[in-house]
Amino acid sequence: MKRIAIIGSGDLGQQVAHYIHQDTKDKVVAFYDDFQDLGIFIKNIPVLGKINAIYDEFKKDKFDEILIAIGYNHLDFKEMLYNKLSNVIPFYKFIHSSTLLDSTAKIGNGTIIYPGCIIDQNVRIDDNVLINIGCVISHDSQISKHTFISPAVSIAGFVNIKKKCIIGINTTIIDHITIAEKTQLGGGSVVIKNIEQSGLYVGNPIRFIH
């Protein structure tokens, strides 16, 4: 059994803890959160400190591995935390047991894959990515670091999504598409051509908003 600490005790952190407890023998033993009081319990899990206490807490053997459960509005901060901590603290990798994961797929450290996903052959999902419920990522596609994939996203083959993208719920991306770093796609977007400029895109087919 691994003892897991989660950065972020909000809805996302609570949901991740729920899936870990429901689906594995591992145990979430702590939240670290700058916006909660030390010592309170959230869903029976204690808040053991602020984020800047994490390294000292790890040295005191309070936990074995860590995850970042911070939402898509704070991807720059999520990236900063991962880069700061990944060289000194092991990151947990959570792949729900209901995920259909091809043996050739490669999943990075700190990545979270929710229930009901299909990860096809030769897919690469980099570090610190979140893949929400019921997503399909087809063969030979790549999801780069710190990206947030919302529920029910369908990604065809040979797609390359760069760092810190936000892919909205029910988005469809056809094959051989590249999406620029820090792109946000609104819910229900349909992507049929490369996105070369970062920004917000919505619609079917997508159009640039800002």
Residue 143's SS3 state is strand
134 conformational bin, left if phi > 0, alpha if psi -120 to 50, beta if neither: left
Look-up of token digits 């970042």: 68
d(CA 4, CA 113): 16
Adjacent-strand bridge partners of 75: none
Among 18, 21, 96, 139, the active-site one is: 139
The answer to whether 146 and 82 have CB atoms below 8 angstroms apart is: yes
The answer for residues whose C-beta is within 8 angstroms of residue 174's C-beta and 6 or more apart is 156, 190, 191, 192
The answer to whether 168 and 150 have CB atoms below 8 angstroms apart is: yes
Q: How far is CA 94 from the centre of its chain?
A: 10
Residue 90, preceding peptide bond in cis (omega within 30° of 0) = no
Q: Is 139 a catalytic residue?
A: yes
d(CA 180, CA 196): 5
Residues identified as active-site:
139
